[in-house]
Structure 1
Amino acid sequence: MATTGSKSALFVCLGNICRSPIAEAVFRKMATDAGVVDKWRIDSAATSTYEIGNPPDHRGQACMKKHDVPMKHVAKQVTKDDFMDFDYILCMDESNMSELNRKAKAVKNSSAKVELLGSYDPEKQLIINDPYYGSDDDFEKVYEQCVRCCTAFLKMNS
């Protein structure tokens, strides 16, 4: 469990085995390198139940290893509490966004700011596409997008 800090971010995608664990790992490493990881609660989750209990996709793990980014996660689904416990819920595409907004409506005290992680991309790549049916290059692209977005997000919140 991540240390509870004064700020919190939950990264979300469909299955929580490709994009969101990559974003979580990238952001955790950036916060660690910046010396602020103890001020953050960082996690990731899925909108679906497809992959609950599974580790991140092996291609994503290989990509993170190549970039020296530690990754340790077990897929889980977004809970109602997440909408009250996290400051930011950062998702990868419009489908995640509409599902999260639908879930948020069912939570009385929802205070989390639900946004597309891509809204922080200086290169304006709003959508982080699912690499699951793609190649190693697609995972690399997700990694690069997450680095750009997380860099900007951390800068805005430090």
Structure 2
Amino acid sequence: MVQVLFVCLGNICRSPMAEAVMRDLVEKKGLESRIKVDSAATSSWHIGEPPHKGTLAKLKEVGIATTGMKGRQLAREDFEEFDYIVGMDSSNVQNIRQMLGQPDHPKIFRFLDLTDHRKDVPDPYYTGDFQETYDLVMEGCAALLDKILGDLEEVSFR
């Protein structure tokens, strides 16, 4: 099984949105038994809290489930458990590498580096623009799912 972890600062806006969108894409392709998705925060500010009301509203608007989602903090064990650890912005990636003691590991990367944008996902907690975040998350999740499927095919041919 391939395991994906999305990480942002508080685990209430961007990373849970990416988690929910990726789960939805994975389910639509019937890959739930092959791909597990989760999210976490680099900070401890929102542990145990549900996603931000703006994230919940946007996902409800587009019919994507968020049932049972609660904020949690990134842990050292996550490096061993997850195959892809995806930071929503450059600062998150730097914090992930520092927290996990992995200064340069390819399983840790910035979310939009798999797209043509190659930029940070703006934090809607500060911008208030949950639509922009959703659009970027959709694009990034589609690109990541393509990468995962390509990686799975490569492994199956070895």
- When normalised by structure 2's length, the TM-score is 0.88
Q: How does 1:29-44 map to 2 (within 5 A)?
A: 29-44=24-39
Q: Which moved more, 1:71-80 or 1:11-20?
A: 71-80
Matched residue SS, 1:22: helix
Structure 1 contact 120–150 (Cα < 8 Å) conserved: no
Q: Of 114, 124, 147, which residue of structure 2 is paired with 1:120?
A: 114
Structure 1 contact 14–96 (Cα < 8 Å) conserved: yes
Partner of 1:87: 83
How many residue pairs get matched?
148
Partner of 1:52: 47
Matched residue SS, 1:42: strand
Indicate yes or no: 2:9 matched with 1:18.
no
Encode CA deviations 1:44-100: one digit per residue, 9 max, x unaligned: 000000111111001110000111111131000001100110000001111111111
- Structure 1 gaps, min length 5: 1-5
Question: Using the alignment, how far apart are the partners of 1:155 and 1:37 within structure 2?
Answer: 15
- Structure 2 gaps, min length 5: 150-158
Would the alpha carbon gap of residues 125 and 141 (structure 1) be closer, same or farther in structure 2, given more than 3 Å must change? Answer: farther
- When normalised by structure 1's length, the TM-score is 0.88
Question: What letter corresponds to residue 96 of structure 2 in structure 1?
Answer: L
Partner of 1:105: 101
Question: Using the alignment, how far apart are the partners of 1:15 and 1:131 within structure 2?
Answer: 11
Q: Give the aligned CA root-mean-square deviation in angstroms.
A: 1.8
Q: Would you tell me which structure has more helix in proportion to its own residues?
A: 2
Question: What letter corresponds to residue 101 of structure 1 in structure 2?
Answer: R
Partner of 1:151: 142
Would the alpha carbon gap of residues 37 and 43 (structure 1) be closer, same or farther in structure 2, given more than 3 Å must change? Answer: same
Question: Using the alignment, how far apart are the partners of 1:111 and 1:96 within structure 2?
Answer: 14
Q: CA deviation at 1:134?
A: 2.5
% identical aligned pairs = 35
